[in-house]
Amino acid sequence: MEIINHTEKRIDNQLLVIIHLSQLLTYVTGFGGLIVPLVIWLTQKDKVEEMDVHGKAIVNFQISIILYVIISIPLILLLGLGILMLIAVGVLGFVLPIINAIKASRGENPYYFGTIRFIS
């Protein structure tokens, strides 16, 4: 009797790049930067090698970004520090997905600066 293992994962760096770049949908739709990567991660984490690592990093980063935006709103009243924080969050939220998409295309692990690990 032959046992067939169907749990073999495929290497798909292009899908990893797409999941990183899909975070930029936040700048178009306002909320797609969390929903689209979350759906791709949950549906593909058992099929694509390294998808679980990249998906967790992206979801943690997006939740951290949302938390930083919520914290910065009351800080606007405190000498305008919240405005500086919003600008920093906006820049990091745009630049880091692009950098990590390039890393994913090279087969490297993602690193998002300032991410709080909600999902490990």
So where are the chain's domains? 13-105
The helix, strand and coil proportions of the chain, stated in percent and rounded to the nearest 5, come to: 65, 0, 30
Q: What is the pLDDT of residues 64-75, one digit of tens each?
A: 999 999 999 999
Q: Is the pLDDT of residue 60 over 70?
A: yes
Length of the chain: 120
1-5 long-range contacts, CB within 8 A, separation 24+: none
Higher pLDDT, 120 or 89: 89
Q: How confident is the model at residue 61 (pLDDT cuts 50, 70, 90)?
A: very high
Two tokens, residue 70: 């919520």
Q: What is the pLDDT of residue 5?
A: 56
Q: Is the pLDDT of residue 110 over 60?
A: yes
Q: What is the mean pLDDT of residues 110-115?
A: 92
Q: What is the pLDDT of residue 77?
A: 87
Torsion-angle region of 29 (φ positive above 0: left; ψ -120 to 50: alpha; else: beta): alpha
Query: Rounded to an integer, what distance in angstroms lies between the CA atom of residue 82 and that of residue 87?
Result: 9
Q: What is the pLDDT of residue 68?
A: 95
Q: How confident is the model at residue 106 (pLDDT cuts 50, 70, 90)?
A: very high
